[in-house]
Chain A
Amino acid sequence: MYQYSQADHQLLQERVSQFRDQVQRRLNGDLSEEEFKHQRLRNGLYLQLHAYMLRVAVPYGLLSSNQMRTLAHIARKYDRGYGHFSTRQNIQYNWPKLEDVPQILDDLAKVEMHAIQTSGNCIRNTTSDPLAGVARDEIEDPRPYCELIRQWSTFHPEFNFLPRKFKIAVSGATHDRAAVAVHDIGVRLVKNDAGKLGLEIYVGGGLGRTPMIGKLINPFLDPHDMLTYLEAILRVYNRLGRRDNMYKARIKITVHETGEDKFRELVEEEWSQIKDNGLRLRDEDIENIKAHFKDPEYETLSDFDADYDAAILSDPEFAHWADKNVELHKKDGYRVVYLSLKSRNQPAGDVTANQMDAIADLADKYSLGAIRSTHRQNLVLSDVKLKDLHRLWKELKSLDLATPNYNHLTDLISCPGMDYCALATARSIPIAQALTERFDSYDYLNDLGDISLNISGCINACGHHHVANIGILGVNKKGVEVYQLTLGGSAREDASIGKIIGPAFTADEIVDAVSKVLDVYLENREDETETFLTTYRRLGQAPFKERLYG
């Protein structure tokens, strides 16, 4: 993990003092709510339906066990005993009191954490592949590049008052687990035929009310040029991005209205003027950051373990879990373990303080003291020995963190919806719970295979419904919450935006509607290896429409 320097520590301390003063001025009445809003938002503090919500940054999804313990402490001391992992790998607290927030930030700073730029119209926390550094399909570890982006973008004086929020994701593997195509800037580390490392730069992806897939504006950028190139993109955006209409202010609209080619031309022109300045990365700059992300001391292990095999044979429940929630690791004898935050008993992404403490202990015991969060709202223990899996599973099961559903139907993304959010127009959590209860059968989930289902409680699409194989969007129609169904989206390397299938369903109808969609898939797939998405792309909307509305 990245180790904070003296300067990093100092910056957090200064930021805490500054925010303490801002809160004081707000409480005194020296700062209006409107002006305080801009300050608190740059520190992750929203005003929600019932209370403030504090969003804490988890830079590119990496947490130490100690940091997790602090998150538990905050949930317990300042909140109602739980937190919520978001689709941007961050954690949110739903009930902090304004006057406590400076102290929360102080507690976070002690473990090198903060809420800087987790909201507001600035460059947000950079997200990445939760399997960075351990994935078998990795081309290059994205974390050093994420860390460089973190440093470059933190309190960037020119880009702290952008037309709108700005999200960057970096991925370095064959499979895209960071949804780079639906970010304001997506970066993919790739190698050319000669084995040379380069960056694909995508611009103008995003969800919300105008979902768009990012445009490839540079297919092979020299990694040394990453930050100057990002600076050029941001500068063009800061100048040209619309400020007259907040719904047209994201860079996706700027790219769309300017035209992809013209936008690229503007970026290249700007970049040509700054590409050799001090921000250009030298070999040693990249190497120095890489040194923070060196492999831990892995043991040399066999990829076979007799006890593990015996447990698989004797314990079918364990076998189900191992089949669904465990992935190969780049090192033999190690595995990557997904901790499902999608059980029947808690809203998607929610974790209690007790679970957080227990996860921290398990990370120390079984996974080199590190935890990762994923954009699909789960957690990962990335370095578990094969021989420890059975023991770990038993502990996870007792914590309700072992639902065997990773990348399956009930591993769904759901925004907080109208239960918490001031923007929401419909409830998401009860729909997610109804779906989870209806489809809570291992055999059925197993039969359905790899599939994604996402739910958003309003058109802002925080639940990423556009890029789910099956998306649900809750809207309010004449005082009634109704749910639109979209099919065919994907957030992976084959990214696509789902299409609305037809008129919306009521809360009572939506679960049956999803069930019908699944029936059409199961009846029409060529064989068990054909995924829902492939079947849908092959057949198109017609048979689904027929079943739903015919």
Chain B
Amino acid sequence: MGKFIKDRKPQEDSWMPYTGLEDIDSLPGGDIYIPMEEWQNKREELLLRNGKLGVILENTDDVAALKDDLDRLDLIVLQFPKMADGRAFTQARLLRERYGYKGEIRAVGDVLQDQVFYMQRCGFNSFELREDQDIPSVIAAFDEMTVTYQPACDEELPIWRR
């Protein structure tokens, strides 16, 4: 697998992506994630297998559709198809702040050094970096800025109330 950071450390990634269209019995044990739609279609069968489950969302998906499933999902993968597309920032904040999701939220796609600061503030805690990224530089970028003005997942109050 490629370059991966979780909880600010380089780690081995235990998760495998599947399309969700496979025969469920053919899926291996262990941790897999599938598209949200397939999760919704086969929720009960999928829960019977051994191993953790995660879903990957399109960045047009409404995260509210997952709100009753969150305690059964250990991973939610959100996408940055290109760096300029910031919809997943909103998806992540809603999952954490509105629906109280406690599991792993992962950024995939154009996940770059200069964005991880914002991503962590919005609730992302794991990052599948694009291949050209330098892991130590990315880890340093989490602390590049220490001043935050507005509330987000890491701060409940704006700077004028802290």
Chain A residues at the B interface, C-beta cutoff of 8 Å: 7-8, 10-11, 14-15, 17-18, 22, 35, 38-39, 121, 151-162, 227, 235, 238-239, 243, 273, 277-279, 282, 285, 288-289
Contacts and interface: CB of A to CB of B under 8 A. Distances in A.
Contact of A157 (B84, B152, B157): B152
Contacts of B156: 277-278
A7 B151 CA distance: 15
A156 B147 contact: no
B156 to A, nearest CB: 5
A238 B150 contact: no
Contacts of B109: none
B83 A15 contact: no
B86 A161 contact: yes
B6 interface: no
B144 to A, nearest CB: 5
A14 B144 contact: yes
Contact of A160 (B118, B144, B151): B118
Contacts of A235: 90
Interface in B121-160: 121-122, 144-152, 156-160
7 contacts: A11-B145, A18-B144, A121-B84, A157-B150, A161-B83, A277-B156, A279-B158
B145 A151 contact: no
A151 B118 contact: no
Contacts of A38: 83-84, 114
Contact of A152 (B112, B117, B121, B150): B150
Nearest to A6: B147
Given A152-B158, A278-B158, A279-B158, A11 B152 contact: no
A235 to B, nearest CB: 6
Nearest to A151: B149
A158 B112 contact: no
Contact of A156 (B98, B114, B119, B150): B150
A157 B89 contact: yes
Contacts of A8: 147
Contacts of A158: 86, 89-90, 93, 118, 122, 152
A31 B86 CA distance: 20
Nearest first, the 10 A-B pairs at minimum CB distance are: A161-B86, A157-B121, A11-B147, A157-B118, A278-B157, A151-B149, A158-B89, A278-B151, A7-B147, A278-B156
B90 A238 contact: yes
Contact of B146 (A14, A121, A152, A288): A14
A35 B83 contact: yes
